[in-house]
C-alpha cells in the first residue's frame, strides 16, 4: 500500500482491490480511416514507397501540413521529431561550442539534438504561470557564444513568443520552436510554429497527429527550406551526383505520410477534444484543491496532456497519488525529469565547463515535485474526460481524507 494511504471500507480505490473507475485503460493506438487504408493499398500496388522514388504521399503531407500554418510556410518531412530538431539546428549552422538556450521542462530530444550537433544546451528556468521558458531568465543566460534559442511549447502550452521572439531578434539569435506537443496552440491567435526561423514537430505516440514514427520541420524562408531538404537527403542537391555538404538520411517514407495525412484531416477535432478535457479538469479540480496549469494570458493551450499541481503540503504523496489514479485505469504519470536531472547531460555539461544544477532553475525544481500529468487524448471524448475527472477526484478525496 502506498505510504500515507490507509485502506477504508467506503468507496474503495482500485489500488486497494476496489472496482476501477474505468473498466479498462483507453486505447492509445492510431485511428486509421477507410480512406487511409485504401491509400496504403494503392501505395503498395504502385510499389512507390518513398518520396525520392516518385511516391506522392510524403510530398502531399508536407504541403497540406504546411498549409495549416499559412500559405507562405513550407515543410520537410522526416522520420522522427528528434531528426526534425537536429535538422533545424544543423540548417541554422549550430555547431561545436555554440550555446543554445533550452527550457528545463522539455522532452530530452531537444537537448539530445543540441548535443548531436556538438553544441552546448544552456538550461533555462521556466516561468511559473505556464511552466514554459522564462524570457527574462533566457536574457540573463545569453553569452557571446549563444547562437540560438530552442523554445519548447510543452504539454501543449504556448511559450511567451512575443518576449522570446523580441529577445532573439534584438540579440541576433536563431529561434527554433519545438511544437511536437503543441499542434495548433496559439499566441494571440497566431499558431506556434510560425514565430521561429524553424519549427519542429513529432508524430510519435499520443501526439495530436500520430503516424507511428515521424516528424516535420517547417519554415517560411525559401533558402532555409532548400537547406533543410538537402540536409535531410544526404546533403545532396537536386542532381543525381550532387553531394553539396555533409547531411543526414532521415526522410519520411510513404506509409507514415498517408497515416499523417489522415491525422491531419482530424486535427481540429483532436485539438478541441483535448482542450475540452483539459479545461474541464481545470474547472472541476479547482474547488478540491488540485490546480491545473492555467492557460497563459498570451495564448491557448492544446493540452497534449493536462499538467496538475498538488498543493505544497501534498508533494510527499504525489507519487502514491499517481499510482492510485493509474490503478483506476486513468492514464496518469509523473512528468519526465527536468533537463538538470538527466545524468548524461549534466556530465556532458560538466565536461564542457558549462555545469548547471537544480539551483539554477528554482521554478522548475519546485514544480516538478508537485506535478502529475493526466490524459487528454487521443480518443478522449467528453464522457471519458468526465470519467477520468471522477476517478482522479475519487483518489484525491480519499487521499485528502486519510492523510496524516
Ligand X SMILES: Cc1ncc(COP(=O)(O)O)c(C=O)c1O
What is the spatial distance between Cα 314 and Cα 392, in angstroms, rounded to a whole number?
15
Burial of 41 (0-12, 13-18, 19+ CB in 10 A): exposed
As given in the structure block, the three cell numbers for residue 42 are 494503392
Using CB under 6 A as the binding rule, whether residue 215 contacts ligand X is answered as yes
Q: Is 109 in the site for ligand X (CB under 6 A)?
A: yes
Q: How many residues bind ligand X (CB under 6 A)?
A: 15
Interstrand relation of 146-152 and 174-178 (parallel, antiparallel or unpaired): parallel
Residue 178 engages ligand X in binding (rule: CB under 6 A): yes
Pick the closer one to ligand X by CB: 77 or 82: 82
Which of 81, 158, 260, 296 is close enough to bind ligand X by CB under 6 A?
A: 81
Closest approach of Cβ 110 to ligand X, in Å?
Answer: 6
Task: State which residue, 247 or 260, has the beta carbon closest to ligand X.
Answer: 260
Question: 160 vs 178, which CB is nearer to ligand X?
Answer: 178
Answer for which of 185, 202, 216, 257 binds ligand X (CB under 6 A) is: 202
Distance CA 96, CA 81 (A): 22
Between the CA of residue 42 and those of 37, 46, 49, 258, 275, what are the distances in Å? 9, 6, 11, 11, 35
d(C-alpha 344, C-alpha 110), whole Å: 14
Query: Minimum CB separation from ligand X for residue 132, in Å?
Result: 11
Which of these ranges, 8-16, 101-109, 239-247, 311-319, lies near ligand X under the rule CB under 6 A? 101-109
How far are the Cα atoms of 51, 62, 64, 252, 253 from residue 56, in angstroms, in the given order? 6, 10, 12, 12, 10
For 268, other C-beta atoms within 10 Å of its C-beta total 12
| Residue 376 interacts with ligand X (CB under 6 A): yes or no | no
Residue in 21, 77, 82, 134 binding ligand X, rule: CB under 6 A: 82
Query: Which of residues 152 and 389 has its CB atom nearest to ligand X in the complex?
Result: 152
- Which residue stretch of 78-86, 219-227, 291-299, 371-379 sits at the interface with ligand X (rule: CB under 6 A)? 78-86
Q: How far is the CB of 317 from ligand X (least distance, A)?
A: 27
Angle between helices 222-232 and 81-91 (to 10 degrees): 120
Between 135 and 174, how does the x/- string for binding to ligand X read (CB under 6 A)?
Answer: -----------------x----------------------
Chain centre to alpha carbon of residue 166: 23
Asked if 181 interacts with ligand X (CB under 6 A), we say yes
Piece of the chain touching ligand X by CB under 6 A; list 97-105, 175-183, 275-283, 290-298? 175-183
Q: Which of residues 35-64 bind ligand X (CB under 6 A)?
A: none
Closest by Cα among 264, 399, 396 to 330: 396
Distance CA 149, CA 251 (A): 25
CA atoms within 13 Å, Cβ hemisphere of 390: 11
CB of 84 to ligand X, least distance (A): 7
Residue 377 touches ligand X, criterion: CB under 6 A:
no
Q: Are 281 and 306 in contact (CB under 8 A)?
A: yes
The label of the residue with cell 500515507 reads: 4
Position 220 contacts ligand X (CB under 6 A): no
- Name which position in 129, 163, 186, 204 contacts ligand X (CB under 6 A): 204
Residue 186 main-chain phi, psi, to 5 deg: -130, 155
Given 180, 257, 309, 321, the residue binding ligand X (CB under 6 A): 180
CB of 202 to ligand X, least distance (A): 3
- Contacts with ligand X by CB under 6 A lie at 80-82, 106-107, 109-110, 152, 178, 180-181, 202, 204, 213, 215
Amino acid at each position: 500500500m502506498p505510504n500515507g494511504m490507509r485502506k477504508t471500507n467506503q468507496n474503495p480505490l482500485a489500488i486497494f482491490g476496489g472496482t476501477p473507475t474505468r473498466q479498462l485503460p483507453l486505447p492509445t493506438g492510431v485511428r486509421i480511416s477507410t480512406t487511409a487504408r485504401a491509400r496504403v493499398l494503392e501505395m503498395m500496388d504502385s510499389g512507390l514507397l518513398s518520396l525520392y522514388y516518385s511516391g506522392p504521399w510524403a510530398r502531399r503531407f508536407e504541403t497540406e501540413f504546411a498549409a495549416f500554418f499559412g500559405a507562405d510556410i513550407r515543410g520537410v518531412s522526416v522520420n522522427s521529431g528528434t531528426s526534425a530538431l537536429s535538422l533545424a539546428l544543423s540548417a541554422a549552422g549550430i555547431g561545436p561550442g555554440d550555446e543554445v538556450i533550452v527550457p528545463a521542462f522539455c522532452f530530452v530530444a531537444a537537448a539530445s539534438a543540441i548535443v548531436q550537433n556538438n553544441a552546448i544546451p544552456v538550461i533555462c528556468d521556466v516561468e511559473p504561470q505556464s511552466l514554459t521558458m522564462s524570457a527574462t531568465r533566457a536574457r540573463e543566460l545569453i553569452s557571446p557564444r549563444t547562437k540560438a534559442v530552442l523554445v519548447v511549447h510543452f504539454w501543449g502550452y504556448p511559450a511567451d513568443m512575443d518576449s522570446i521572439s523580441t529577445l532573439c531578434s534584438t540579440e541576433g539569435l536563431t529561434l527554433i520552436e519545438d511544437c511536437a506537443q503543441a499542434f495548433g496552440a496559439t499566441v494571440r491567435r497566431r499558431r506556434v510554429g510560425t514565430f521561429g526561423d524553424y519549427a519542429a514537430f513529432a508524430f510519435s505516440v499520443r501526439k495530436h497527429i500520430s503516424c507511428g514514427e515521424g516528424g516535420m520541420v517547417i519554415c517560411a524562408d525559401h533558402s532555409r527550406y532548400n537547406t533543410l531538404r538537402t540536409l535531410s537527403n544526404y546533403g545532396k542537391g537536386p542532381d543525381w551526383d550532387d553531394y553539396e555538404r555533409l547531411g543526414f538520411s532521415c526522410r519520411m517514407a510513404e506509409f507514415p505520410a498517408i497515416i499523417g495525412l489522415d491525422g491531419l484531416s482530424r486535427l481540429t477535432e483532436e485539438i478541441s477534444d483535448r482542450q475540452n478535457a483539459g479545461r474541464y479538469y481545470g474547472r472541476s479540480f479547482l474547488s478540491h484543491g488540485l490546480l491545473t496549469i492555467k492557460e497563459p494570458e498570451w495564448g491557448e493551450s492544446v493540452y497534449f496532456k493536462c499538467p496538475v499541481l498538488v498543493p505544497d503540503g501534498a508533494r510527499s504523496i504525489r507519487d502514491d497519488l499517481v499510482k492510485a489514479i493509474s490503478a483506476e485505469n486513468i492514464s496518469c504519470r509523473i512528468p519526465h525529469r527536468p533537463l538538470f536531472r538527466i545524468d548524461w547531460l549534466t556530465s556532458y555539461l560538466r565536461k564542457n565547463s558549462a555545469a548547471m544544477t537544480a539551483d539554477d532553475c528554482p521554478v522548475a525544481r519546485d514544480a516538478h515535485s508537485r506535478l502529475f500529468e493526466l490524459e487528454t487524448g487521443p480518443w478522449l471524448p467528453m464522457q471519458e474526460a468526465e470519467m477520468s475527472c471522477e476517478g482522479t477526484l475519487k483518489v484525491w478525496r480519499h487521499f485528502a481524507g486519510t492523510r496524516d
